[in-house]
A and B are shown apart, each in its own frame.
Chain A
Amino acid sequence: MRRVHQWNATFSLALFLFFCSAAFAQVPFERIANADKEPGNWLTYSRNLQGHRFSSLTEINTQNVSGLKVKWAFQSPYSRLEVSPIVIDGILYVTGPNSAAALDGRSGRPLWIWKRPIPSDYHSIGFGHSNRGAAVLDDKLFVATLDGYLVALDLKSGAERWSAKVLDYKTGYSMTMAPLAIDGKVVVGVSGGEAGIRGFIDAYDAKTGAQAWRFWTIPGPGEPGHETWSGDAWKTGGGATWVTGAYDPELKLVYWGVGNPGPDWNGDMRPGDNLYTCSFVALDAGTGKLRWYFQFSPHDTHDWDATHVPMLFDAQIGGAKRKLIGVANRNAFYYVLDRTTGEFIAGKPYAKQTWAKGLDAKGRPIPAANNEPSKEGNLIWPNLNGATVWFSPSYDPQTRFVYVATREIGARYFKRDTAYKVGTFFPGGGEDELPPDDAWGAIKALKAETGELRWEFKLHSPPWAGVLSTAGGLVFSGSDEGNFYALDARTGKPLWDFQTGGAIGANPVSFTIDGHQCIAIAADRVLYVFGL
């Protein structure tokens, strides 16, 4: 079977090179920074560095989307793909756990496949074996592995060019996210928030793999913010960084979400606000130094990571144009901040929540009664997965709406005693979810600068798929029951749907093949590509 793949790969490669002289072009940073100038490609996780997941392609639009059909499908050996493909000049780059492949955009046939063995003693703590995608810069593709390596692959062949050890998986760290390539560097974050890690964000030199800087998400002794921890709790305080951030090339700031404190559900073991958990941090791209932070859920006890793709946009606030950053947080509030300073601009709930009475003038939550896990269990909305999770939102510059795949589900939260042991689950409690028919989902369109609800499209169950918006006036997303669908971006009206046959837990992308617009989504182990 593998021999057939290899033969086909060689043949497809030759064929592709024959037809497409632009194949395997280099991707300097300028191309990524100016992604909007080449809508046929998808050069970074969110298509642009600003985290928009918006395509300016218009061939597929509200008038013709009902004719969308499958062009090809790629069967992966890995179940429940979470990948958001990179697309460069007609070639798709996809990833799985410790693996990557280049796919011919016309046929889906692999051009090369790269794999690195997962060590037999590797153990995921708190998540499945997954990988959400790659980054690209110049002539290399960058992939983060479960066992803690950032690997640079040759775009043409898949051969390893360098490999940097980011972390020691034996202590509970891992990596599942797509790296973010910025000017000359590759930025990565880590998983392990349920294993008592101390989180960090790393940058590596894209050419050599040498570490450029590290930002610890939990300040050590003597550093500002350390006073928000007591005793040794900071050493096992979590603060994972497992979702790809955003970058402002003008401000030269990297924006990144930080995960929950540990242990997750027992806050008695870590009194204080527990900075910088459940925060956005803005880091100097050159040095990794903290420029500002904003903590959404101080002293979180619900596992509400702030690991979301930040959306960077500009808008008029009080008569003045402001550089903003927006996020629909796992804690069920939508926030708008000034992305130069971190100042709180606006915030309001976008899903059912029972844990806070609201936000104060600085955006800090005002706790409601009975909002904590307890020995007997406390019913709280949202559940531990939050009102949205890792999957991407989308910012549409045409409607100026933010589209959020929203989970409407509560749970009974429990608190338990727990003891830290290196490389093991460190929960301090858990939850008992409400039955499936008591939960639902929605795609919600929010006014970007205020969070005001403009429309919602209800889903049968809480979703695990991200959102793509397009200049064709469409919003694409997927359901846990396998529906891939398109909505009218202005009204939320459903215009097209397709049953993929597998649960969708991935982000959609759009690009062109031979000049024609395509939409891709992974559903369970299959990557589908659609076109007219």
Chain B
Amino acid sequence: MRVLAATMLSLILSVVAARGAPQQSPPAPSSPPAAPDVAAGKLIFEGHCALCHGIDGGGGRGPSLRRPKLAHAADDEALKSVIENGIQPDMPPAWYLSPEEIANVAAYARSFGNVPPEVLPGDPARGKAVYVRSGCSACHILAGEGSGYGPELTDVGARRGSSRLRETLQNASKTIPEDFLFVEAITSSGQTIRGIRLNEDTFSIQLKDQQGRFHSFRKSDLRTLKKLRSETPMPAYGSVLSASELDDLINFLASQRGKP
């Protein structure tokens, strides 16, 4: 049988998906609503959610869940709704889970908020100095400061775990997100534009160059369009910064959590 959209299916479906009570079989009127089964939720989480949120909820491709407040889920009902319906285009919906299974996985996801904050080496104040000294704001915006060529960093500590931040700083080409693409477009007049892809369809592509300028091209008007799939304009700081500078910078970035 078909499903509605490709994004809905990018997850591993496990045996657990078939276990829960169907929506059309509510509990008998005399029995109180069952408390969520966190252990069952853990199994679902590891099969379906950990791919992006990390096996420990610390984030990866998706944001870290190890915080008391989740950006898109102010309360449990909102969290269940996010799990069932997804967040387009970033998070696929789990339409195939029963309400009981959604409650179970929501309870488990929520439990990450009780995990004590990660203790990181380094010093955030020194990290800020490293950030400034290294010229990060030439490409990134942090709390309204800087240039918006690369990804916005105001809430990067909420979106990325410290291990992911470390990997990216050491060699960003190893952790290029799925939706990030660096491209080179050569126009019919011979002008070369290198930039980050903002959007693309069959007939057009939209880019942002290092100066923050937007470019929109009809593909048929371009002489060539190269997708530089393993490239990123971000330097590999693993060989530029000392180990302690890297610790400081990671500590600083991990503390950038956007709105409280």
Assuming A194-B96, A383-B9, A424-B20, what are 16 further A-B pairs, CB within 8 angstroms? A127-B1, A128-B4, A128-B5, A260-B1, A305-B1, A307-B2, A418-B15, A419-B18, A425-B17, A427-B13, A427-B17, A429-B13, A430-B9, A432-B12, A485-B202, A494-B203
Whether A514 sits at the interface, judged by CB under 8 Å, is no
Instruction: Verify B202–A126 contact, CB threshold 8 A.
Output: no
Residue of B nearest to A82 (CB): B4
Residue of A nearest to B99 (CB): A123
Task: Given A170-B24, A497-B203, verify A425-B96 contact (CB < 8 Å).
Answer: yes
Residue of A nearest to B92 (CB): A433
- Chain B 1-43 interface residues, beta-carbon cutoff 8 Å to A: 1-6, 9-15, 17-26
Whether A417 sits at the interface, judged by CB under 8 Å, is yes
Instruction: Verify B1–A128 contact, CB threshold 8 A.
Output: no
Q: Summarize A's interface: helix, strand, loop or mixed.
A: loop
| Residues of A participating in the B interface, judged by any CB pair closer than 8 Å | 80, 121-128, 130, 169-170, 191-194, 238, 240, 242, 259-260, 264-265, 303, 305, 307, 377, 383-385, 389-390, 409, 411, 414, 416-427, 429-433, 435-437, 439, 458-462, 464, 479-483, 485, 494, 497, 499, 503, 505
Task: List 8 A–B pairs whose Cβ atoms lie within 8 Å, in order of A's numbering.
Answer: A121-B26, A126-B2, A127-B2, A238-B1, A424-B18, A427-B13, A432-B12, A499-B203
A193 to B18, CA, bound (A): 14
Contact of B3 among A126, A238, A411, A420 (CB under 8 A): A126
Contact of A303 among B1, B17, B22 (CB under 8 A): B1
- Chain B 187-232 interface residues, beta-carbon cutoff 8 Å to A: 200-204, 220, 227, 229
Contact of A125 among B5, B26, B96 (CB under 8 A): B96
Most A Cβ at <10 Å: residue of B2, B12, B201: B2
Residue of B nearest to A384 (CB): B9
A212 shortest CB reach to chain B, Å: 26
Residue of B nearest to A458 (CB): B202
Contact of B12 among A242, A430, A479 (CB under 8 A): A430
A425 to B1, CA, bound (A): 12
Which residues of the other chain, A, contact B204 by a CB distance below 8 angstroms?
Answer: 499
Contact of A416 among B13, B21, B24 (CB under 8 A): B13
Whether B75 sits at the interface, judged by CB under 8 Å, is no
Residue of A nearest to B61 (CB): A435
Residue of A nearest to B20 (CB): A424
A421 to B19, CA, bound (A): 8
Whether B181 sits at the interface, judged by CB under 8 Å, is yes
A420 to B220, CA, bound (A): 52
Which residues of the other chain, B, contact A377 by a CB distance below 8 angstroms?
Answer: 12
Which residues of the other chain, A, contact B147 by a CB distance below 8 angstroms?
Answer: none
Residue of B nearest to A196 (CB): B18
Contact of A460 among B24, B97, B202 (CB under 8 A): B202
Instruction: Verify B201–A479 contact, CB threshold 8 A.
Output: yes
Residue of A nearest to B1 (CB): A193
Which residues of the other chain, B, contact A494 by a CB distance below 8 angstroms?
Answer: 203, 220
Which residues of the other chain, A, contact B10 by a CB distance below 8 angstroms?
Answer: 432-433
Instruction: Verify A418–B18 contact, CB threshold 8 A.
Output: yes
- Chain B 87-127 interface residues, beta-carbon cutoff 8 Å to A: 95-98
Whether B236 sits at the interface, judged by CB under 8 Å, is no
Instruction: Verify A433–B1 contact, CB threshold 8 A.
Output: no
Task: Given A384-B9, A417-B15, A425-B17, verify A481-B202 contact (CB < 8 Å).
Answer: yes
Instruction: Verify A427–B1 contact, CB threshold 8 A.
Output: no
A229 to B113, CA, bound (A): 49
A146 to B220, CA, bound (A): 43
A425 to B22, CA, bound (A): 9
Instruction: Verify A121–B202 contact, CB threshold 8 A.
Output: no
Instruction: Verify B1–A485 contact, CB threshold 8 A.
Output: no
Instruction: Verify A436–B96 contact, CB threshold 8 A.
Output: no
Which residues of the other chain, B, contact A259 by a CB distance below 8 angstroms?
Answer: 1
Q: Please provide the 3 A-B residue pairs with the shortest distance between their CB atoms, ordered closest to farther.
A: A430-B13, A193-B1, A481-B201
Which residues of the other chain, B, contact A426 by a CB distance below 8 angstroms?
Answer: 18
A128 to B229, CA, bound (A): 33
Whether B51 sits at the interface, judged by CB under 8 Å, is yes
B72 shortest CB reach to chain A, Å: 19
Which residues of the other chain, B, contact A419 by a CB distance below 8 angstroms?
Answer: 15, 18-19
Instruction: Verify A437–B229 contact, CB threshold 8 A.
Output: yes
A433 to B92, CA, bound (A): 12
Instruction: Verify A126–B96 contact, CB threshold 8 A.
Output: yes
Which residues of the other chain, B, contact A385 by a CB distance below 8 angstroms?
Answer: 2-3, 6, 9
Which residues of the other chain, A, contact B22 by a CB distance below 8 angstroms?
Answer: 123, 421-424
Which residues of the other chain, B, contact A482 by a CB distance below 8 angstroms?
Answer: 201
Which residues of the other chain, A, contact B179 by a CB distance below 8 angstroms?
Answer: 436
A101 to B181, CA, bound (A): 43
Instruction: Verify A437–B20 contact, CB threshold 8 A.
Output: no
A80 to B6, CA, bound (A): 14
Instruction: Verify B95–A128 contact, CB threshold 8 A.
Output: yes
